[in-house]
Amino acid sequence: MASLQYVDINGASLAYKICGPENAPLIITLHGGRGFGSHDSDFKAYSPLGTKYRVLSFDYRGHGLSSATKPYTFAQIVEDIESVRTHFAGADQKVIICGGSFGGFLAQQYAIQYADKVSHLILRGTAPSYHQEEAAIQVLEQRLHKAPSFSVEMLKNKVFGAFESDLEFRLVHLAMSPLYSEKFDANAALKSCLTNVYNAESHNEKYFDYRSSLHSVTAKTLVVVGDKDWICPPEHSELIVSLIPGAELFLVADANHSVHLEKNTEVIAKINDFLLQ
């Protein structure tokens, strides 16, 4: 089992796990959960790729077990990703970038900004701009019965707005947890919300729009999305595919935002096939 390690990157101490053959192509996974996510679920989901690839999952600054070293901007985190690539793969080596949700936002920005450093781009349950918020609000209005302690106002003003404290962030995330999976486990959700690190300040850095720049992505691109994804509905993955030359869409039936966990075997098999291209 891979052990937790730390690496100093651009003045921050970043927590990470890595597995796979030493000289294999490197996959850098970029986790979701702006302000509260960590490498844990990504490493669990993608470590099966470690038979053929090196799989590296890390916590961004201000997230998980990494240091709360400011700034938490998209621009800074993307520079951290580039420094992680250089540290683990070498200055001239291309890598595979795999980003989901918030990590998908970062993955798109990295693939645009450092196009010559990415061989393959894998995006999961994400969107090309913050305008996905409008569609997510519409989906929530139809599914509020699944999360009776959550509200449209919380989504608009907190999740897509700003949290006033880490405690408020934690409570709202617990309230919205039933929306993320088609098979909700309340006990697991409570345990996750009790153990997660919540950083409201790192969450509140937002707004992005890559729609006019995605044509410059040169990496072979696979976009994975569950057909029931509530917060980044499939139409936004379809838009990404239409904007990146040669991109491929993988729409997974009966899966929500956590498609990489809900349908792990199916997703890993697809990624393995894709990476052979």
Write the CB contacts of 221 (distance below 8 Å, at least 6 apart in sequence).
111, 120, 121, 122, 123, 240, 241, 244, 246, 247, 248
Q: What residues does 27 pair with on adjacent strands?
A: 55, 96
CATH 3.40.50.1820 maps onto the chain at 5-131+207-275
* Cβ–Cβ under 8 Å, residues 270 and 224: yes
* Cβ–Cβ under 8 Å, residues 14 and 39: no
**185 pLDDT tier (thresholds 50, 70, 90):** very high
Q: Helices 166-176 and 186-195 meet at what angle, rounded to 10?
A: 160
Fold topology of 5-131+207-275 = Rossmann fold (3.40.50)
Write the CB contacts of 86 (distance below 8 Å, at least 6 apart in sequence).
none
**192 pLDDT tier (thresholds 50, 70, 90):** very high
Write the CB contacts of 137 (distance below 8 Å, at least 6 apart in sequence).
152, 155, 156
Q: Helices 74-89 and 102-113 meet at what angle, rounded to 10?
A: 70
What integer pLDDT is reported at residue 1 of this predicted model? Answer: 75
What integer pLDDT is reported at residue 74 of this predicted model? Answer: 95
Q: What is the pLDDT of residues 228-248, one digit of tens each?
A: 999 999 999 999 999 999 999
Pair type for strands 5-9 and 12-19: antiparallel
Q: In what order do the strands lie in the sheet with 54-58?
A: 5-9, 12-19, 54-58, 26-30, 95-100, 118-124, 220-226, 248-252
Pair type for strands 220-226 and 95-100: unpaired
Burial 227-261 (b: 16+ CB within 10 A, else e): ebbbbbbbebbebbbebbeebebbebeebbbbbbb
Residue 227: φ, ψ to 5°: -70, -10
Q: Which pTM does this prediction carry?
A: 0.97
Residue 56: φ, ψ to 5°: -120, 120
**19 pLDDT tier (thresholds 50, 70, 90):** very high
Q: What is the pLDDT of residues 77-126, one digit of tens each?
A: 999 999 999 999 999 999 999 999 999 999 999 999 999 999 999 999 99
For residue 207, is pLDDT > 90? no
